[in-house]
């Protein structure tokens, strides 16, 4: 909203009614860059005739340098690079890939960012829109042409395994690539590959491969809390199986817990893509334990901060729990999760294996062992904190910085 002085003291509004800027009729400001007119018009003393057209510029192209601050803005704009986050997120693959990309994007405001998903990942698209980032949702097979048409400096692929043809095309287009969790045939053409789920460097030979929990990426909310304190007796259990929980391990877990005696509360956190909430709520109402059901929270760390034991799947949530030092029990949603090193081999985690192999009696034995021993929980707690997963995002950013520097040396010039 604009105001003007009517005299030396009084201000008057330059609008008829207050409304959001986006709802106002567009107005245009001259940049003074280029004006095209007929020569005859110049003899009239003006460059503008009765009819005028415009070439609309974006905010960066329209920068006018009149002072040192304008110079600083122009300099920052020149150094900006275009970064595309190519992500996946749906009921089958969960939404962890989207959350990681958003955590990275939130720390890259110096650059021009946009997201790309295909139609099978509309859930990811909705999550991104809620965070006010530009997102393009394209039909399957159109991802490559969309990326190349937009001409980004760097593409961050968080789509799991890539195809050889896709990655070779990005490489021949002089686009620098950073791939997450990529075990596909296209990974050998990526400039950098990062996978926090593995720490065996023999999986990916090469200096551009980075693996292990030291590259875990946490959202900002996990840096606002201190680690938990291990209590003599367990008071709170946390059950959370990611954004979608395709095997409905949430319901199965609270049913198993219902048969284990104890004076503790269960908090169940349901993800944005979970579609069986009513079943969980119905069971919670008749359970032998006090169960609080939290549906689609945007700040999950607040529930972790008050947790003594967590039960989850073998994805990135394990790293989030490790940041608090929470003793964790893992039930794998799929075969791939059974190969995640930290979730299956850290002394701070008790892995039960693939969900289809976990029996109620086996689950009960392991949970009761954890419930009854504060010494075991303390040992797991210390081991998880020693992993220092909160440092991971800084390690990842060092790699992304290398990618941005590398893009400056490509033959692709962005005007």
Domain chopping of the chain, boundaries: 1-66, 78-219+392-408, 221-389
78-219+392-408 against 221-389: fold identical:
yes
Q: How long, in residues, is the chain?
A: 415
Look at strands 11-13 and 3-5 and give their pairing.
antiparallel
What is the fold, at CATH topology level, of the domain defined by 78-219+392-408? Rossmann fold (3.40.50)
pLDDT value of position 249: 97
Structure tokens at 323: 């940041």
Q: What is the pLDDT of residue 204?
A: 57
Question: How many Å apart are CA 142 and CA 140, to the nearest integer?
Answer: 6
Phi/psi zone of residue 325: left (φ > 0), alpha (ψ -120 to 50 degrees), beta? Answer: left
Q: What is the pLDDT of residue 391?
A: 96
Residue 392: how many CB atoms within 10 A of its CB? 21
- Assigned architecture for domain 221-389: 3-Layer(aba) Sandwich (3.40)
**pTM for the full predicted model:** 0.78
Q: Contact at 8 Å (CB) between 83 and 92?
A: no
Extract the residue ranges of the chain whose pLDDT is less than 50: 411-415
- φ/ψ bin of 299: left (φ > 0), alpha (ψ from -120 to 50), beta (otherwise): beta
């Amino acid at each position: 909203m604009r105001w003007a002085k009517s005299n030396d003291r009084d201000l008057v509004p330059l609008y008829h009614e207050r409304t959001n800027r986006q709802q106002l009729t567009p107005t245009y400001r001259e940049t003074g860059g280029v004006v095209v007119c007929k020569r005859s018009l110049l003899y009239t003393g003006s460059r503008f005739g009765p009819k005028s057209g415009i070439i609309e510029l974006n905010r960066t192209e329209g920068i006018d340098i009149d002072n040192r601050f304008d110079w600083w803005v122009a300099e920052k704009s020149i150094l900006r690079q275009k970064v595309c986050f190519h992500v996946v997120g749906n009921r089958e693959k969960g939404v962890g890939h989207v959350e990681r990309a958003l955590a990275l994007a939130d720390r890259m405001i110096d650059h021009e960012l946009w997201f790309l998903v295909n139609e099978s990942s509309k859930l990811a698209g909705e999550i991104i829109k809620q965070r006010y980032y530009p997102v393009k949702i394209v039909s399957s097979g159109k991802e490559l042409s969309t990326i190349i048409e937009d001409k980004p400096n760097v593409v961050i692929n968080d789509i799991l395994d890539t195809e050889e043809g896709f990655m070779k095309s990005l490489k021949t287009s002089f686009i620098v690539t950073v791939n997450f969790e990529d075990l596909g045939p296209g990974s050998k053409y990526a400039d950098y590959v990062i996978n926090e789920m593995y720490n065996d460097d023999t999986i990916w030979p090469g200096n551009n491969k980075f693996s292990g929990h030291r590259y875990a990426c946490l959202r900002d909310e996990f840096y606002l809390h201190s680690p938990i304190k291990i209590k003599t007796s367990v008071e709170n259990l946390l059950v959370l199986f990611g954004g979608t929980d395709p095997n409905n391990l949430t319901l199965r877990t609270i049913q198993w817990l219902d048969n284990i005696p104890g004076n503790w509360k269960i908090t169940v956190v349901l993800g944005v893509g979970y579609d069986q909430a009513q079943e969980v709520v119905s069971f919670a109402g008749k359970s032998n334990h006090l169960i609080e059901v939290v549906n689609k929270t945007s700040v999950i760390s607040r529930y972790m901060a008050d947790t003594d034991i967590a039960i989850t799947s073998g994805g990135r949530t394990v790293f989030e729990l490790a940041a608090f030092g929470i003793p964790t029990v893992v039930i794998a949603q799929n075969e791939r999760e059974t190969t995640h090193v930290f979730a299956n081999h850290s002394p701070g985690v008790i892995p039960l294996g693939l969900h289809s192999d976990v029996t109620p009696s086996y689950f009960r034995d392991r949970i009761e062992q954890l419930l009854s021993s504060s010494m075991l929980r303390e040992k797991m707690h210390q081991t998880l904190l020693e992993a220092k997963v909160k440092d991971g995002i800084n390690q990842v950013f060092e790699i992304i910085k290398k990618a941005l520097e590398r893009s400056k040396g490509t033959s692709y010039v962005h005007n």
